Homo-oligomer: A and B are copies of this chain.
Amino acid sequence: MENVKAIFEPKTVALIGSSRIKEKVGMASPQLFENVVYNMRKFFRGKTYVLDVDANAEYTRVDELPETPDMAVLMLPPEQSIEQAEKCAEKRVKALVGITGGYKDDQRRRLLKLKEEYGVRILGPNTIMGVINAANGLNTTFERDVMPRKGSIAVICQSGGVGACLLDWACFYNVGISKLAFMGDKIDVDDVDLLRYLGEDEETKVVCLYMEGIKKGREFIEEARKIVKKKPLVVLKGGITEESVKRAKSHTASIAGSDEIFNAALKKAGIIRVEDIEELMNSAIALSKQPPMHGDNIAIVSNVGGPAILAADAVARNNLKLAALSDETKRKIEGLYPGVDATNPIDMIADARAERYSKVLELVLKDKSVDGVLIINMLKSCFFEPEDAEVIPKIARKYPGKPVVDVPAGGEDFALVYKVLGDTNIPLYNLPEKAVKALKALRLYGRVLEKH
């Protein structure tokens, strides 16, 4: 465990590659090497040693390094990477991250032997992108200047492509990430090790996992059961059909089981399962910012009619319920704002501004029949101004036990409100349906906690 920690929290890192390599195997290339060096020098707040095996550089051999690094990143073709890995292991490097792929079975075995002999822990090989730790700036990806915002969502990926997509998504949409790990061939460090590490990691509030199959099913489920008591675990699984399973098998050499059995196992372990990358990110955002929901009843507070109806439809589709507001709540709202019909979903009408949002949100959160609130605040066709949204986190903070999510529906409307609320604890979604799915994730996690 101590050595798994060195994958994410090394104080010293050796980057081992070549600026002259021509062999085109498993993504080994001078450009890749240079990009990782660039990223590490720019972002990493520990010590980085660059070891260029083919050039007259400051360091060309592990022996030459002034100290033993905690972790080494292998960016050479398999045979050369193994050679360097051996030297690292002998020097008691704690962890290895194998970026390049193309390893044959016996090469994987030789690499794994180092773990058995020296206790060095190995991520990969074939991780392609390696690891990111937004807290210490560790970034072994070869995407120049790509670094997600520091946050509390951890992401573990079996697939480089899905991981790269999640990384791109997180950077573009400003999602706060704690750690990101690409597992690659998983000869040593696997989902179970990473769950164990992330379960203890104080920076991480939510763990996201993209997987195509489980190798050690029982251990995985056991570890998941432990972690979900402390923090939610959200899983996206690729390979639900026979054909895609076949492909998943050839792709990362793991065995995908029957999807139904898998689903039942996840559910039993208290894992939240999602269907696509956007839902994975959207659920994680909600889970990292808002409390779990302890009941099915949603109140919808909106300044437009149609989108509120679409939200109500999504509530039904996702097996949640529209809260039946108490007579007192309704009477108070309708007393304050004649013309507003306080039947849930509440259409506060197009001229609702901060004051009306503030009062109605408070009345609704106070109502015992309400377990969570979905707010819709459109700008287009309404009088709402982006700054009006500031009341939402203010009121929500007074009711910390009930989740609140916000929908500035649309494109520009979303972007404008995001500028005001993006850094608060209110999760924002550009369509009602996405917000309802996020509330569903909060409800599922609420149920998990209630069972324990």
Q: In the bound complex, do residue B128 and residue A306 qualify as a contact, i.e. CB atoms below 8 Å apart?
A: no
* B-chain residues with CB within 8 Å of residue A239 when the two chains form the complex: 309, 312-313
- Interface residues in A383-403 by Cβ distance below 8 A to B read none
- Point out the residue from B278, B309, B343, B351 that lies within 8 Å of A238, measured CB to CB: B309
* B-chain residues with CB within 8 Å of residue A171 when the two chains form the complex: 411-412
- Point out the residue from B159, B162, B250, B275 that lies within 8 Å of A341, measured CB to CB: B250
- A233 smallest CB distance to B (angstroms): 19
* B-chain residues with CB within 8 Å of residue A410 when the two chains form the complex: 164-165, 168-169, 172
**For the complex, is A27 an interface residue (Cβ under 8 Å from B)?**
yes
Count the copies: 2
- Which chain B residue shows the least CB distance to A170? B411
**For the complex, is A74 an interface residue (Cβ under 8 Å from B)?**
no
Q: In the bound complex, do residue A306 and residue B345 qualify as a contact, i.e. CB atoms below 8 Å apart?
A: no
- A431 smallest CB distance to B (angstroms): 6
- Point out the residue from B244, B306, B411 that lies within 8 Å of A162, measured CB to CB: B306
For A416-432 the 0/1 string (1 means CB < 8 A from B) is 00000000000000011
Q: In the bound complex, do residue B243 and residue A344 qualify as a contact, i.e. CB atoms below 8 Å apart?
A: yes
- Other than the given A160-B306, A161-B306, A250-B341, 15 more pairs (CB < 8 A) read A27-B351, A141-B381, A143-B381, A159-B306, A171-B411, A172-B410, A212-B309, A238-B313, A239-B313, A243-B316, A247-B305, A247-B312, A247-B345, A250-B343, A276-B432
Write 26 A-B pairs (CB below 8 A) sorted by A numbering. Answer: A27-B350, A159-B305, A159-B306, A159-B307, A160-B304, A161-B302, A161-B303, A161-B305, A161-B306, A164-B382, A165-B307, A165-B378, A168-B410, A168-B411, A171-B412, A238-B310, A239-B312, A241-B316, A243-B344, A247-B312, A247-B345, A250-B343, A252-B305, A276-B431, A277-B409, A278-B431
Q: Which A residues form the contact surface with B (CB < 8 A)?
A: 24, 27, 128-129, 141, 143, 146, 157-165, 167-169, 171-173, 210, 212, 236, 238-241, 243-244, 246-248, 250-252, 275-278, 302-310, 312-317, 322, 341, 343-345, 347, 350-351, 378, 380-382, 409-413, 415, 431-433
